[in-house]
Amino acid sequence: MPSIWKRFVYIVLTTIFFSSAFWILFGPISSLLLFGVIMFWVATHHVFHLVALDRWLLLPKKSSSNIPAGTSEWDDVFAHLARYVRQHSHSKELLSLALERMRNVTSAMPDGIVLLTENDHIEWCNPIAEDHLGISSTLDIGQQITHLVRQVPFFEYLAARNFSKPLVLNQTRRRQKIIISLQLVPYGFNQKLLISRDITRFEKLETMRRDFIANVSHELRTPLTVISGFLDTLTHEETTPDFDKRALTLMSEQALRMQSLVEDLLALSRLENDQNKINETNVNMPELLNEILRDAQSLSTGKHQIKLNVTTQSQLLGNESELRSAFSNLIGNAVRYTPEGGEISIQWQEENGKGIFYVQDSGIGIEAQHIPRLTERFYRVDTSRSRETGGTGLGLAIVKHVLNRHEADLEITSEVGKGSRFSIVFPAKRMI
Ligand code: ADP
């Protein structure tokens, strides 16, 4: 039995005992008087301690040291209360230490972090985020972030709630232009983390790399055209000995390969260049695909059975020459990687409003581990085979860039020895 109950039973039994003794010795009135006096003393004792407890509870600074002293059972109660307060303040101390540590860590991070509420109000931000976004961790808490970062792409990015892709934003910091990448991360209950990173240096290097490749390719173009032209003339010259003709033919082939490599590199540079805005029209897909089909048939030289099936009359909003290059690359690959006698089917259809183009072949297929890397520049499953088929290793990289510019996705499924399917999914808003 808890000690408070024991004491209560002890007091009641003692009071009854003494009251009964008084009844026998002095009569009922004295007995009732004694009972009343004891009960009054017990009640006063409790009220006195309750008042002390109430006073302590109203104190602005409660600690174990200012807990009132108690007697009998109240001594136990106050001792328990003191222990509870000590434990509580210890865990509070640990919690604020952990919070302080977390603040120090986030302040030392090279990335900016902003905590946003469900409605995009700023809850907290670290010093780097203040610098990147021009916000203040003291003045702007509780403010809507779109009132402070006033750029349309940022409004659209927040509204889209697309947590998978980062947004690149140009900002001015102390009169200097910086480029930051912003990434939204969901956390907690509908809250968001906005992570910002300064990518100015990286973007400068990327621009330098792009410019270098574009310039080198451009500079190589003219000499290669001259070399190719003379090689061609010499090959067809009657006075050229047969042995030399064989060497000249080989040189011509290699010069042509270099020319297509240069052309592909230039095409990639154009696609990568953000300044090169996409010029869009309503593309007549049946017409475009029939033209590409004719090219594919001449590339195949009758070695494959190529079928085209168009099941929608919708036009596609996009850049015709970029789309032609993407479709031609996929169809050309199907021809080059399908042995003689194989089947190639090309399909253009509409599914749930989305535009779907696919090329299915019965060719050599691709092992699963290569599929995620196919769109990397110069990535080849089998280098010697790609050279044999005349590939530059840039075809699928070009496809990927064209699709990025058209907000489309590439899906690849393949089975070794059975064939591959390359599908492009265009968003419904591009189907006209
Ligand atoms: P390449 O010019 O070498 O063909 P691509 O970028 O067009 O370069 O393709 C990359 C690699 O993907 C190719 O080297 C080839 O191994 C593989 N590939 C592409 N299309 C097919 C296909 N239809 N069937 C089998 N392999 C393919």
Domain boundary among 37, 70, 97: 97
Query: Do residues 325 and 414 share a domain?
Result: yes
Query: Do residues 140 and 12 share a domain?
Result: no
Distance 333 CA to ligand 1 centre (A): 6
Query: Do residues 327 and 397 share a domain?
Result: yes
CATH number for the domain spanning 386: value is: 3.30.565.10
Query: Do residues 32 and 137 share a domain?
Result: no
Distance 381 CA to ligand 1 centre (A): 7
Cα angle vertex 139, ends 136, 144, to 5°? 80
Domain presence at residue 102: no
Domain boundary among 75, 97, 119: 97
Spatial contact of 422 and 338, defined as CB atoms under 8 Å apart: no
Domain span at 168: 109-198
Domain count, the chain: 4
User: Ligand 1: which atom is nearest the Cα of residue 389?
Assistant: 4
pLDDT tens-place values along the chain, 432 residues long: 577 888 889 988 999 999 999 999 999 999 999 999 999 999 999 999 999 999 999 998 888 888 999 888 899 899 999 999 999 999 999 999 998 898 888 888 889 999 999 999 999 999 999 999 999 989 999 999 999 999 999 999 998 887 888 999 998 888 889 999 999 999 888 889 999 999 999 999 998 998 999 999 999 999 999 999 999 999 988 888 888 889 999 999 999 999 999 999 999 999 988 778 889 999 999 999 999 999 999 999 999 999 999 999 899 999 999 999 999 999 999 999 999 999 999 999 999 999 999 999 999 999 999 999 999 999 989 877 767 777 889 999 999 999 999 999 999 999 999 999 999 999 999 999
Q: Whose CA is nearest to atom 20 of ligand 1?
A: 333
Which contiguous run of DSSP H or E holds residue 293? Answer: helix 285-300
Domain presence at residue 311: yes
Query: Do residues 318 and 425 share a domain?
Result: yes
This prediction's pTM: 0.71
CATH number for the domain spanning 217: value is: 1.10.287.130
Domain presence at residue 234: yes
Ligand 1 binding site (Cβ under 6 Å of any ligand atom):
329, 333-334, 337, 361, 363-364, 366, 374, 379-382, 386, 391-397, 420
- What are 213's two structure tokens? 């490749």
Query: Do residues 253 and 348 share a domain?
Result: no
Whole-number pLDDT of residue 160: 86
Give the span between the Cα atoms of 267 and 315, in whole angstroms: 24
Query: Do residues 401 and 308 share a domain?
Result: yes
Distance 71 CA to ligand 1 centre (A): 89
DSSP string, 128-178: HHHHHHT--TTTSTTSBGGGTS--HHHHHHHHHT--SS-EEEEEEETTEEE
Domain presence at residue 261: yes
User: Which SS3 state, helix, strand or coil, does residue 278 take?
Assistant: coil
Whole-number pLDDT of residue 106: 83
Whole-number pLDDT of residue 315: 94
- What are 166's two structure tokens? 């980062």
Distance 288 CA to ligand 1 centre (A): 23
Distance 356 CA to ligand 1 centre (A): 21
Give the span between the Cα atoms of 177 and 204, in whole angstroms: 12
User: Ligand 1: which atom is nearest the Cα of residue 422?
Assistant: 23
User: Ligand 1: which atom is nearest the Cα of residue 391?
Assistant: 2
Assign residue 380 a region: left if phi > 0, alpha if psi is -120 to 50, beta otherwise? beta
Query: Do residues 378 and 288 share a domain?
Result: yes
Query: Do residues 166 and 26 share a domain?
Result: no
Query: Do residues 68 and 172 share a domain?
Result: no
CA distances from 260 to 218, 225, 390 (A): 12, 11, 9
